[in-house]
Amino acid sequence: MRMNIAFAAAIISAAALLSGCTFDGTISNFAVNYGARTDAGYRLPAIPIAKVPAQYRRQIVRYQTDEQPGTIIIETGEKHLYLVTGNGRAVRYGIGVGREGFEWKGSARIALKREWPVWTPPAAMIKRRPDLAKWRGGMPGGPDNALGARAMYLFNKRGDSGYRIHGTPEWWSIGKAMSSGCIRLLNQDVIDLYDRAEVGAKVIVR
């Protein structure tokens, strides 16, 4: 009986591999896409992806929703961002979210997209961290910029929400609550999302 169970498990496992699916709903992953690269003249270092928990690596997963393809759904509790692609699937990215006191939920839309954006710390942040006053007029884009390689600017009915979906060189912060409310992704992931997401896309933060 044990042999039969083991044999059956092997058959099921092989079938899952052949179909490209795993039991956690993953259809495919992009673990090989985190190497060093040059982007717009800037050098992005490789991410030690083996140190990033598997659930926070970019992958295509099964995802049921009534939202239209192109919608971004952010599940802050599970630290995942889903880009709905339709047919019961989504591209899932690991994210870092707002720390205690900076969480938020609601709906917005992508109003602007920028490559290697300038980062201007808000006055409230400068008050908390006077060392950032030197960037009051804007920190130039680059590998050390707080917004990373890409930024998508979230607006709501009142205008600019002040929140961004952006990249970060701090790969160890993915899966944690460390930001001032913005949603951060690995730089290699935010470049991928930037290329897929459209201006005007609906963003739902839960």
Whether 76 contacts 206, CB under 8 Å: yes
Q: What's the rounded Cα separation, in Å, for the pair 162 and 39?
A: 26
Q: What's the rounded Cα separation, in Å, for the pair 160 and 77?
A: 24
Q: Which residues have a catalytic role annotated? A: 166, 182
Classify residue 95 by its DSSP letter.
-
CA within 13 Å, CB half, 82: 25
Classify residue 119 by its DSSP letter.
B
Structure tokens of 183? 């949603």
118: closest CA among 81, 84, 148? 148
